[in-house]
């Protein structure tokens, strides 16, 4: 997070703002600002992060290591 309290994603040296589009009891759904493909990130309360494409296909999931 930066001074505006919004989450950001750093990818290949670029910093991109994540806009919250939905909050559920067990997760938050974000979309990269100005992202043209309609992909979203789902951040789970368990610390997982999943990238979803515009057809709701799971592209990649990250989980916290124990």
Contact 62, 44 (CB under 8 A): no
Per-residue pLDDT of the chain (66 residues; tens, 9 = 90+): 567 888 888 888 889 898 999 999 999 999 988 888 889 999 999 989 999 999 999 999 999 876
pLDDT at 61: 95
Instruction: Say what the pTM is.
Output: 0.78
- In Å, the largest CA–CA distance within the chain is 35
Domain residue spans in the chain?
A: 8-62
């Amino acid at each position: 997070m930066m001074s505006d309290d919004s989450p950001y994603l750093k990818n290949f040296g670029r910093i991109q703002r994540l806009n919250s589009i939905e909050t559920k009891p067990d997760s938050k759904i974000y979309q990269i600002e100005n992202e043209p493909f309609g992909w979203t990130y789902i951040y789970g309360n368990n610390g997982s992060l999943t990238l979803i494409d515009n057809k709701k296909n799971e592209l990649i999931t990250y989980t916290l290591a124990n």
